[in-house]
């Protein structure tokens, strides 16, 4: 692919897991490594796009490329703010594993075990949906989300496409602990009128396929 293909395009990519604080020294998160989101940011950058990579908690270092600007965040609320500050964009790819809930009774002091643990939760904003459902020219032309499921993968992906207002859902089967932290991925591209199943590929190749999909539709 040419390094000019997506020049003049702006993209926002989220990657990694969010961290939701419990107290000043503890948090809740998930096993997301950030690999797939990092690979997508790099593939977009190599195709000439200007990329804002909004990264939560990642195991892998973010990719270095002159077209990538990194914004590091901790929580889902911060991630949403960072994404909306990076608008306008032509392309949004939500690859982050955003925690569904945050602790509503967070403590700024370290909790003591003698007090027991009584955590309360409130729902986090859905970042992909907040972008997918933007009206008119505020909405990036292509909005892409992910679905990691253990059951009814395609059916849930089709529902997500609709509820989040996405143009493409990249669906991954995560039964048996596959995908999270792994280097390869068996993905299905789910759109309004098609399902395309890819072979098991390295995450860098899945990223290239996603960027091919974008390049074919962006103009």
Known binding-site residue numbers for CTP: 94-96, 100, 110, 146, 160, 164
Q: What is the largest CA-CA distance in the chain?
A: 61
Active-site residues: which are they? 30
Question: Counting contacts by CB under 6 A, is residue 160 touching ligand C5P?
Answer: yes
Cis-peptide, bond into residue 82, ω within 30° of zero = no
- What is the CB-side half-sphere exposure of residue 28 using CA atoms within 13 A? 15
- Which of these segments, 57-65, 142-150, 180-188, 205-213, binds ligand C5P (CB under 6 A)? 142-150
Cα–Cα distance measured from residue 44 to residue 94, given in angstroms and rounded to the nearest whole number: 14
Question: Counting contacts by CB under 6 A, is residue 215 touching ligand C5P?
Answer: no
User: Exactly one of 146, 161, 168, 207 binds ligand C5P (CB under 6 A); which one?
Assistant: 146
Cα–Cα distance measured from residue 20 to residue 25, given in angstroms and rounded to the nearest whole number: 11
Q: Which of 152, 174, 163, 134 is nearest to 32 (CA)?
A: 174
Cα dist from 161 to 85, 129, 156, 218, whole Å:
24, 9, 9, 18
**70 DSSP 8-state letter:** E
* Helix and strand counts by DSSP (H, E) for the chain: 5, 12
Question: Counting contacts by CB under 6 A, is residue 68 touching ligand C5P?
Answer: no
User: Exactly one of 12, 145, 190, 211 binds ligand C5P (CB under 6 A); which one?
Assistant: 145
Of 37 and 63, CB closest to ligand C5P? 37
Question: Counting contacts by CB under 6 A, is residue 128 touching ligand C5P?
Answer: yes
Question: Counting contacts by CB under 6 A, is residue 96 touching ligand C5P?
Answer: yes
Number of residues that bind ligand C5P (CB under 6 A): 14
Assign 112 to helix, strand or coil.
coil
- Which of these segments, 114-122, 139-147, 175-183, 209-217, binds ligand C5P (CB under 6 A)? 139-147
- Which of these segments, 28-36, 67-75, 124-132, 210-218, binds ligand C5P (CB under 6 A)? 124-132
Sites of contact with ligand C5P (CB under 6 A): 14, 76, 94-96, 98, 124, 126-128, 145-147, 160
């Amino acid at each position: 692919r040419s390094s000019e293909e997506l020049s003049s395009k702006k993209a926002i990519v989220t990657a990694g897991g969010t961290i939701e604080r419990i107290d000043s020294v503890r948090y809740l998160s998930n096993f997301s490594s950030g690999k797939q989101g990092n690979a997508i940011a790099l593939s977009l950058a190599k195709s000439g796009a200007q990329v804002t990579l909004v990264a939560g908690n990642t195991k892998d270092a973010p990719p270095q490329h002159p077209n990538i600007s990194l914004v590091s965040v901790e929580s889902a609320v911060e991630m949403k703010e960072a994404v909306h500050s990076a608008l306008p964009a032509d392309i949004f790819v939500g690859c982050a594993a955003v925690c569904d809930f945050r602790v509503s009774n967070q403590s700024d002091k370290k909790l003591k075990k003698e007090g027991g643990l009584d955590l309360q939760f409130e729902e986090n904003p859905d970042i992909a949906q907040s972008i997918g459902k933007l009206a008119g020219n505020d909405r990036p032309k292509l909005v892409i989300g992910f679905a990691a499921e253990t059951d009814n993968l395609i059916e849930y992906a089709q529902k997500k496409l609709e509820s989040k207002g996405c143009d493409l859902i990249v669906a991954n089967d995560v039964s048996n602990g596959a995908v999270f932290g792994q280097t390869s991925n068996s993905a299905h591209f789910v759109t309004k009128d098609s399902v395309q199943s890819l072979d098991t590929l390295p995450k860098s190749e899945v990223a290239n396929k996603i960027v091919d999909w974008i390049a074919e539709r962006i103009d």
